[in-house]
Amino acid sequence: MSDQVRQLSPKELWNHFADLNAVPRPSKKEQKVIQFIKNFGESLKLETKVDEVGNVIIKKPASKGMENKETIVIQSHLDMVHQKNSDTNFDFETQGINMVVDGDWVKAKGTTLGADNGIGVASIMTLLASNDIPHPAIEALFTIDEETGMTGALALKGGLLDGKILLNLDTEEGNELTIGCAGGVDVTATGTYKQVVPGTSKGLRISVKGLTGGHSGVDIHKGRANANKVMNRLLFDLASNFGIGIASIDGGSLRNAIPRESVAVIAVADDKLNEVKKAVADFASIIKNENSFTDPNIDVVIEAADAPQNVLDYDFQYRFYVQFIAVRMEFTE
C-alpha cells in the first residue's frame, strides 16, 4: 500500500482508512473486519459490543459540557463491493486493498477501492479516537453485508441503541444531506437447456473490457456501458448471422456493480471463421464510437480458444435471445 495515502490530510482520517483497507472485508465474509473494529473500540477503552449477526456497536460518552445533548447514532457499513479486473491477481478474502495516490484521487490497483463505505467507517473511527472534538454521547453502529442484502441492518435488534437521531455516512455527495432513498429489486432467472456437440468448428474467446463500471445504485443514471449488455448484443448478432454456438458467458457475479468485463467462448464453423472475426472487429468500432464519452477505454478483443466440446442447443439459444430482447423492450418502452 502506498505510504502517500497516509500522508494525506487530515492524517487521522486517511490513516484510519488505510488501516481499514488493510483488512479483507468482502460482503458476507466480514469476520476479519468485525474483529478489527471490535479490537479498535476496546483499545480506546470504550463500551464495545458485537451482536448476533456481526454488527459492531461502540459507545462513547459525551465530552465535558455536552452531557445534556441528544445521543447521536452514527452508522456506516463494514463490507465492500469486491470486484477486480480479470488480469488482476487478487484474493479479497486474504489481501488488503493496494491503494495509490493519482493526482487528486486515491485509487486502487485493479480492484474496487472500498471507499463505499470505508471512508464513512474511517470518519467514525476518527471521531471515536479524537480527544479534542466536542461531541454529545455517540453510538457508533457498524453494520455488515449492506452491499448484498442489508442483512446486518435488517437483523439489528431493538434495545441495543439509545439514540433517536441517526446519521448514516453512506453517501456520495459531501455537501448534501439525504432524508430518503430508493429501493431495489433482485431478480433470479433460471432455465433448463441441453448441451449439443458442435460440428467441425473453431473456438473463439471474445472479451468486452475496459469499461468504466461503477455502482449500480449511484452511477446507473450516467449512461455507462454494461459489459454484459454489450456482449449479449454482439452474441445475438453473431448467432443470427453466422449460427455460432455459445459454450460459456462470464460477466461477473455482483448485482450492485455495473459490469466492467464480460468474456464468452463460442464455437464457429470453419467456413464462417473469417466472417465472424470481421463482424467482431466491425462491432468493436461501433461500440467504441457509441460509448466514447462514458467509456473511453472500452474494447472488444477476439482470440483463438480451444474448440468447445459442448454448446447450448440452438433452440434454447434462440429462445433465450428472443426473450431477452422482449424483456428489454418491455422495460424500455
The predicted-structure confidence for 176-218, as pLDDT tens digits, reads as follows 777 766 666 777 777 788 889 888 889 999 999 999 998 887 7
Q: Where are the domains positioned within the chain? A: 3-168, 195-332
Among 30, 79, 145, 295, the active-site one is 79
Which candidate, 263, 254, 249, places its Cα nearest to that of 324? 249
Reported as a single tens digit per residue, the pLDDT across 218-246 is 788 899 999 999 999 999 999 989 999 99
Lowest mean pLDDT among 142-156, 169-183, 285-299: 169-183
Indicate if 195-332 has the same CATH topology as 3-168.
no
Number of DSSP helices (H) and strands (E) in the chain, helices first? 8, 15
Residue 82, amino acid: H
- Identify whether 47 is a catalytic site residue: no
Residue 171 in this model has a pLDDT that exceeds 70: yes
Cell numbers of 57, please?
A: 456497536
Q: What is the pTM of this model?
A: 0.66
Query: Residue 184: what pLDDT?
Result: 67
- What's the chain's average pLDDT? 90
For residues 37 and 20, give the distance between their C-alpha atoms in angstroms, rounded to a whole number.
9
* Mean pLDDT computed over 108-121: 93
Which among 116, 145, 146, 147 is annotated as catalytic?
146
DSSP H or E run through 154: helix 151-154
Least confident of 20-24, 28-32, 80-84, 285-289: 80-84
Burial tier of 127 (Cβ tally within 10 Å: 0-12, 13-18, 19+): middle
Q: 53: which DSSP letter? A: T
Q: Is the dihedral of CA 150, 154, 157, 161 positive or negative?
A: positive
CATH of 195-332, one of 3.50.30.30, 3.30.420.40, 3.30.70.360, 3.40.50.2300: 3.30.70.360
For 190, 201, 202, 205, 321, the CA distances from 309, given in Å and listed in that order, are 23, 10, 10, 14, 22
Which pLDDT score is estimated for 85?
A: 85
Is 303 annotated as catalytic? no
Q: Which fold has domain 3-168?
A: Aminopeptidase (3.40.630)
